[in-house]
Amino acid sequence: MGAGDRNSSGVENVFREAYGRVVATLVRVFGDITLAEDAVQDAFVIASERWGDGIPPNPAGWIVTTARRRAIDRLRRDARGRELLQDVSYTLQEQEGRIDQGLVQDDQLRLIFTCCHPALRTEHQIALTLRLLGGLSVDEIARSFLVSEPAMAKRLVRAKYKIRAANIPYRIPADADLPVRLRSVLAVMYLIYNTGLDDPERSSLRAESLRLTRALVALMPDEPEAAGLLALMLLNEARVPARRIGDEIVLLRDQDRSLWDRALIQEGRAIVRACVRRGQPGPYQLQAAIQAVHSDAASSADTDWPQIVSLYDHLLELLPTAVVELNRAIAVGEVDGPTAALADIDAVTSRLEEYHLVHAARGEMLRRLGRFDEAQSAFERAGALAPTEPERRFLNKQIAELSAGR
């Protein structure tokens, strides 16, 4: 790897780790999302040109300083910008040195609550926050939402326009407004976490979403769903070391459970127990409870599958989605066998036709039933829809094993 490649890789790493924080800081300073985002993009372009001799000691601070200067340059170019710049210059030193005394003390949390304002549609809230806080590209967000890149670009433009047109402030919501925003905020947190879970190169997103979720729980200690989401993340995070061998995906049933992080499991299960005592079950709490049952078992065979099916029954009452039905069907396969599971999977397949995991689940149940030709077709369909190369390799491996076993 040459110096140019190392430099490019270093800038990309800083981008992944610092983008959301820097954008949030610039929004706080200038009060303009588009200005902040454009200035930060400019700063990273400059970094890629100037960091030829190595990454500076405080790269995030370098980006903030450079982005601030680029934003000021942009403001100087028009009359309205010069007026704003006067206001910013007057308060800049005070703003930069101040820690808000409100409930939310983190720039990124403030930006999340701004992006999750009820004036925005839910899908716009989540997409905009993934873009601004997670630094995801438009294409990455589009794939998360199963829409085209141009459609997602328009969605992001509309969301930013709505914030400007409605004069949505970048500030901490009043205490009475916080619970109203919670559902969208939790969805954002979980999407950011899962993006980092599916892409090892974005592992910093997992750490960031965990940090933000912990801050949210501290902010709203009486909201059991916030605690439930934190428990769900912790229990998923505990299994990360066993999820892959090299670039190969390892299913839960085949994971080396000695690699699981027991401290994270203990913390997550403690939160689940506290949620149960509250007696206010919600979707994230129930999903965390399901993961807690998995974490209790020494092996897949030792798992309390009837309890998991029961928890999915409760989850379906609160979150009646096709994906939840699919996950319940897979658990049913462990209790009542592949014939029962296949019937439940087939009942939901038409609603998840473009979702690769429904075809992968069908393939597994058909394989257990000895219907190998149908299983191969299902795995091939799953492979064609799989969004990542590791998933495609895993599914191709299933196809190869089917062929070799006949």
DSSP 255-322: S-GGGS-HHHHHHHHHHHHHHHHHT---HHHHHHHHHHHHHH-SSSTTS-HHHHHHHHHHHHHH---H
Domains in the chain: boundaries: 1-98, 336-406
Report pTM.
0.76
In this structure, which topology does domain 336-406 adopt according to CATH?
Answer: 1.25.40
For domain 1-98, the CATH class is mainly alpha
Residue 263 CA, chain-centre distance (Å), reads 22
Spatial CA neighbour of 126 closest among 188, 179, 182: 188
Walk along the chain (406 residues) and give the pLDDT tens digit of each residue.
444 554 566 778 778 778 888 888 888 888 888 888 889 989 888 888 888 778 888 888 888 888 888 888 888 876 555 555 555 554 444 444 333 333 334 677 788 888 888 888 888 887 888 888 778 788 888 876 768 899 999 999 999 888 888 888 777 677 777 777 788 889 888 988 887 786 666 677 788 789 889 988 987 888 999 999 999 999 999 999 999 888 889 999 999 999 999 999 999 999 999 999 999 999 999 999 999 999 999 999 999 999 999 999 999 999 999 999 999 999 999 999 999 999 999 999 999 999 999 999 999 999 999 999 999 999 999 999 998 888 999 999 999 988 876 6
